[in-house]
């Protein structure tokens, strides 16, 4: 079965942009398009590519298409393919695209808040926030489907996988220093996905034009 349009386009975009990152030796792509914390300036992480890193509004979307390593890219693309394709077929291309982009932005906002209160000066990259939103959507739309995650390699229902991953992210975000992983961005993607589905279902104070029983 072929990969649907939006999922395929996201996979191609992430791969092509990562290729540009590898070719961009001076770091200008990271400077302008990674998600930099609020308040960064010349006294934090000065760069020699025509400026210093600072937050710009477009970074709430563009950071999702940059990646920190080949392993980071491959893991996110695998999860996007595993869970995104069926979700796009179920919802349709336009709702799925809106859902992914909203999850990326929601994850970015969560990371900005955490970085602001912790004083973390480093950038965030990766479509992981969107992937966690997709995972949440998959678990809500197909709760009883059996899936086999890479970790742990144990068959389980999709809803149980979502609960497990959310618990892991909460634990790692609260009780560890993160290890360079934006755990609260992942949680932000999950939370945004949940809110968007509840909105579509007409279960929030703000009602959609058409209630969708997703």
pLDDT digits (tens, 9 = 90+) for 36-60: 999 765 555 555 445 668 899 999 9
Burial (0-12, 13-18, 19+ Cβ within 10 Å), 155: exposed
- Domain housing 156: 5-200
The neighbouring-strand residues paired with 146 are 157
Q: What's the total number of domains in the chain?
A: 1
Kindly state whether residue 209 falls inside one of the protein's structural domains: no
Q: Residue 203: which residues within 8 A CB-CB, separation 6 or more?
A: none
Work out the average pLDDT over 73-93.
97
Check which CATH number belongs to the domain holding 43 and give it: 1.20.1540.10
Residue 37 domain flag: yes
**Residue 42 within any structural domain of the chain:** yes
> Band of the pLDDT at 26, cuts 50, 70, 90?
confident
7: exposed, middle or buried (Cβ count in 10 Å: 0-12, 13-18, 19+): buried
In a domain, 135, yes or no: yes
């Amino acid at each position: 079965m072929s990969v649907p349009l939006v999922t395929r386009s996201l996979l191609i975009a992430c791969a092509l942009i990562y290729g540009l990152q590898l070719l961009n030796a001076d770091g200008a792509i990271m400077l302008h398009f990674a998600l930099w914390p609020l308040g960064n300036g010349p006294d934090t992480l000065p760069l020699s590519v025509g400026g210093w890193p600072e937050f710009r509004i477009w970074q709430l979307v563009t950071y999702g298409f940059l990646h920190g390593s080949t392993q980071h890219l491959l893991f996110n693309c695998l999860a996007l393919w595993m869970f995104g394709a069926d979700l796009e077929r179920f919802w349709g291309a336009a709702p799925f695209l809106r859902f992914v982009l909203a999850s990326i932005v929601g994850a970015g906002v969560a990371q900005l808040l955490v970085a602001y209160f912790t004083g973390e000066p480093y950038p965030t990259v990766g479509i992981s926030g969107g992937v966690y939103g997709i995972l949440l959507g998959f678990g809500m739309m197909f709760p009883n489907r059996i899936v086999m995650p890479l970790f742990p390699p144990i068959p389980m229902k999709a809803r149980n996988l979502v609960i497990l991953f959310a618990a892991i992210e909460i634990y790692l975000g609260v009780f560890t220093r993160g290890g360079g992983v934006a755990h609260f961005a992942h949680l932000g993607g999950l939370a945004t996905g949940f809110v968007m589905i509840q909105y579509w279902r007409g279960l929030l104070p703000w009602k959609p034009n058409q209630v969708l029983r997703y």
